[in-house]
Structure 1
């Protein structure tokens, strides 16, 4: 695979203790018939992930000397990405064969569009079915910020223009929320500056390792906390001149945050004001987020 000075795609793969799967993620990118650079950010793995990465000579490996979490690992890779488009890929996921070429041929890639592809669990990720028969758009969010209000920004391989990422990173002053295990905030923030967001029916594959439900269950409290902080940051972004789309976006993103607050408040036994009161008062919303987050963080399994 030959990479030119300006690749079309920069595939950023995050890795934390993914020694049994990260090679599969890398190979799924190497098998693409597209001009790609591969950036792998190892987030201070304690298993043999770094030994696995050392076997690949044609990738850019960046090593964190302390564990910073999935969001910061992605940000590290994206800030050095040279491609026109950035692809987010977890270290236990694999791209479908030929999907990047299919996206290029479909002529839906442009400098104002973000794309979300799902990730499906397969019992045997090495027995994939070859190139997809075509790109299939399931839902179009236009304007793009509508996607941020759906609360379904994770669990996917997201693709977006590098220029839009730089715009968002600069607007935030590279100061992103204190999120630990999730990266939902990235596609959510990118949606604010995207003219449209396409949610595809096309999917990639989860490479089998530990049972999916067990893996998620061990991180459930952290995932809840991250989603809460993510929704809070998205709601706050609607007041940032770089992101705000007007009062409709503010109301919908605040409503999404209120729904999250009420849901997690019930789950963790934290009393909150009624939904109407929360919607009217940013102080009450922020207070509720702080109290729920404090309870979650005090959990022994956090």
Structure 2
């Protein structure tokens, strides 16, 4: 049975109730991000929280290793002998980590001032993942909006059942997450075959099976947007969607594996209630149906499944907008559907009138399409 984490009102207070200050390890994985790496390292050092800083270079061909050497004893460097991907970097660094809390910071992101001190003050023994929001940043470091959008409630508490029934919950990418060592010890090492990229997707998919999580509205770090990002750098929308689908298949397999170890049931069709997964199926069917990896799938089936999904915390306006979007996807001719999907996936391609409409929906109506 899923047991909810006690509310704030239920937690013990008074003398002796506060947990000991946790030790923090920050792990920065880098591959050809030498131009961004100093900002990442400096942002951690500036927090003055006595964190262990481990920087892993995944056999970069730029100046990343020279940047690392310049920090001397301020960091623990790990130089991978060959390029192995993100999971291998996580595994190598975790083997040397000493912290009670582990923060995986992408080398192209950076910590916001005061964020790590605030995060450490929120430490709760037994909590396995802390979910935070992030600020968007451009290549120069200038801050913009918030990710995920404030209208999307981050999942918290005991989300084991949600994982086992839907396959996903609302969380953040790598630099918006802090993990408890005790949770990581239950699920590491990460498969280097399945998670060359987006290794945090594995961690957030299995750790909540072992214990509770917390969500905080604070912004922890900056999510730097640039053309070289793994997902954004792939212009072939069909191929990008298939990569996302394969990542999901790997996550679902991991959920079943760890749930099985715990004797917990998992629904046989996890992806059918996972909106982001359904969106990738829609894109794959729309742009490259001949390469679609889900046998017997169809636009009509995907739309029907998406419209039946119930999202916890979703407001009436947001649900109406989402239902309308998926109805349009089911009725639109193939050419129009592909154009609408291009605009959704690539904001820079949107005409001015559409961009303005999107801002209105977000600001005035609190609507974010999912």
| TM-score normalised by length of structure 2 | 0.59
Is the CA contact 1:238–1:244 (under 8 Å) kept in the aligned structure 2?
no
Is the CA contact 2:28–2:55 (under 8 Å) kept in the aligned structure 1?
yes
Any stretches of 5+ residues in structure 1 without a counterpart?
1-5, 129-136, 279-302
What are the residue-to-residue correspondences of 1:1-302 with 2, within 5 Å?
Answer: 8-57=23-72, 58-105=74-121, 107-123=122-138, 138-145=153-160, 146=162, 149-150=168-169, 153-154=172-173, 156-169=175-188, 174-183=190-199, 184-198=201-215, 200-206=217-223, 212-213=226-227, 215=229, 216-219=231-234, 224-240=241-257, 241-242=260-261, 245-247=264-266, 251-252=269-270, 255-256=273-274, 259=278, 262-266=281-285, 267-269=287-289, 270-271=291-292, 272-274=295-297
Is the CA contact 1:237–1:243 (under 8 Å) kept in the aligned structure 2?
no
Query: What CA distance in whole angstroms lies between the structure 1 residues aligned with 2:284 and 2:139?
Result: 39
Bigger share in strand: 1
More relative contact order, 1 or 2 (CA 8 Å, 6+ apart): 1
Query: What CA distance in whole angstroms lies between the structure 2 residues aligned with 1:203 and 1:195?
Result: 20
Q: Following TM superposition, by how much is the alpha carbon of 1:205 offset from its aligned partner in structure 2, in angstroms?
A: 1.4
Which structure has the larger Rg?
2
| TM-score normalised by length of structure 1 | 0.71
Is the CA contact 2:131–2:214 (under 8 Å) kept in the aligned structure 1?
yes
> Is the alpha carbon distance of 1:83 and 1:154 closer, same or farther for their aligned partners in structure 2, counting shifts above 3 Å?
same
Query: What CA distance in whole angstroms lies between the structure 2 residues aligned with 1:202 and 1:113?
Result: 19
Q: RMSD of the alignment, in Å? A: 3.5
> Is the alpha carbon distance of 1:169 and 1:225 closer, same or farther for their aligned partners in structure 2, counting shifts above 3 Å?
farther
Is the CA contact 1:18–1:91 (under 8 Å) kept in the aligned structure 2?
yes
> Is the alpha carbon distance of 1:53 and 1:80 closer, same or farther for their aligned partners in structure 2, counting shifts above 3 Å?
same
SS state at 2:124 partner: coil
Bigger share in helix: 2
Q: 1:184-214: CA deviations, max 9, x gaps?
A: 223222233232242644141145xxx6256
